[in-house]
Amino acid sequence: MKDVRLLLRDRAGFFFALVFPLVVAVFFGMIFASGSAPGKITLGVVDLDRTPGSTEFIRQLEQGGDFSVTAIAPGEPGANSTARDAGIDAVRSGTIAACLVIRPGFGAAREAPFAGATMGVELAVDPSRKATGGMIEGLLTKYGFQQLAAGFAEPQKMRDQAKRSLDMLRLASNLQPKRRAEFETFFGNLDKTLASVPGDDDNPAGAEGPGGEGTNARGPAAAFSPLEISRIPVTQPRKGPANSYEISFPQGVIWGILGCALGFSISLVTERTRGTMVRLRCAPISAWQILGGKGLACFMVTLCVSTVLLTIGVLVFKIRPTSYLKLGAGVVAAGACFVGVMMLLATFSGSERGGSGLGWGVLMVLSMIGGGMIPLEFLPAWLLPISNISPVKWSILAIEGGLWRSLGWSQMALPLGVLLGIGGVGFGVGLMVLGDAERA
């Protein structure tokens, strides 16, 4: 109780233990709230082709919902700067996330996919946005496939293209006989396939498609797709978090636990530097009773802070845990873990200032590599195995397991076990080192 009272009267400690985590949870929950539209990727487009095909492609990019498209014009007259240069400059200056340059011939290749030409584009992406660049390429590939699918919407046109391609091949003098025969077979089969695909006139929009009546909502283009993707539900019974606060509140809880752990670590150092530890050691109690009492107080405060934050989340922000029992287990394990971390930090601190610096430094790093600041999926691949040493990662997983991931007990066993293990080791080491140091 003494330690709880000391924490409550330390305004800075109280702020970082309770107020700051609540601010973090609410703030980031609001930012990622599902009601607001996710940000589109700003994409500058330079159309060097200027054909109906490239224009149609740009229109699809604009209406697809993934990009905020801006047409890039050439630079100022006399500046000797092309539109392509202007686009690259805009990426370099951070005005746009990426610039797409549609090369000449795009439209022709779009119209004749089997003529040997490809729909060529150039993409300039800010080097600091590695993840974004990959995402953009994936999205553009999707739109590229849509061009191919659109081609199958006019099978007769495709048959004419295929026939022209076959005529060109037959006139080619440098083609080996075996390869010529293979192409003859391929285009023959292609012609047969295209002959079987119903055209727009044969299968208008709204008619029955492969999926049943009314499934051909967008005409024959919807009947053909190079890749059919079906979503598999991952979480049961709910599909993911009900709202953004179910993602932000676990992080808020972690910040609360970190604040408590740091506060108690510093208070333990303060007891040693200010002399009150002398009184404690002169009393008829053992070292483990003194340190155990400190640890118990820290643990109780982390539970209280976590309970307050989650109660606010449930009552005000409508978070709905899938299992209160598992959520409680996660909170208890995370609290126990950071009690051990608190003890460890206190052993290496000789002063309050040193304790504060060391504590914040270590806990910040653990939070960064553990997904407490940046989601793990955005970290580089080589860092992901290292994140396993961070108790923050396992704490977030354990709490989310009871909140929205709907993990089973066998799946919860690993994060709970890791957290309790770290806590036990930290407490044990701290007890050994501090206990010996106090009685030299």
Residues that bind another protein (CB under 8 A): 2, 5-6, 9-10, 274-276, 278-286, 438-440
Query: CB neighbours (10 Å) of residue 155?
Result: 22
Q: How far is the CB of 67 from another protein (least distance, A)?
A: 57
The amino acid sitting at 217 is A
Question: By C-beta, is 178 or 279 nearer to another protein?
Answer: 279
In the bound complex, what is the minimum distance in angstroms from residue 19's beta carbon to another protein? 18
Q: How far is the CB of 286 from another protein (least distance, A)?
A: 7
For 275-302, the DSSP string reads SHHHHHHHSSS-HHHHHHHHHHHHHHHH
Token look-up 């972690």 returns 254
Task: Give phi and psi for 204, each to the nearest 5.
Answer: -70, 170
- Identify whether 237 is preceded by a cis peptide bond (ω within 30 of 0): yes
Q: How far does Cα 408 stand from its chain's mean position?
A: 23
Nearer to another protein, 95 or 289 (CB): 289
Surface-to-core class of residue 419, CB atoms within 10 Å of its CB (0-12 exposed, 13-18 middle, 19+ buried): buried
Instruction: Report d(CA 122, CA 102) in Å as an integer.
Output: 7
CB of 276 to another protein, least distance (A): 5
267-274 contacts: CB < 8 A, separation 24 or more?
A: 267/3, 267/6, 267/7, 267/10, 267/13, 267/294, 268/294, 268/342, 268/343, 268/346, 268/434, 269/346, 269/349, 269/350, 269/351, 269/352, 269/354, 269/355, 270/352, 272/438, 273/350, 273/351, 273/352
Is residue 321 within 8 A of residue 402, CB to CB? The reply is yes
Nearer to another protein, 13 or 430 (CB): 13
β-strands 98-102, 41-47: how paired? parallel
The residue (of 177 and 284) whose beta carbon lies closer to another protein is: 284
Identify whether the C-beta of residue 34 lies closer than 8 Å to the C-beta of residue 60.
Answer: no
* Nearest CB to another protein, comparing residues 126 and 352: 352
The H or E element that residue 3 is part of is helix 2-8
Residue whose CB is less far from another protein, 30 or 277: 277
Minimum separation from the CB atom of position 292 to another protein (A) = 14
Rounded to the nearest whole angstrom, what is the least distance from the CB of residue 8 to another protein in the complex? Answer: 9
Our CB check for another protein shows the closer of 9 and 178 to be 9
Of residues 74 and 293, the one with the C-beta less far from another protein: 293
Smallest distance, another protein to C-beta of residue 280, A:
7
Residue type, 202: D
Q: How far is the CB of 3 from another protein (least distance, A)?
A: 10
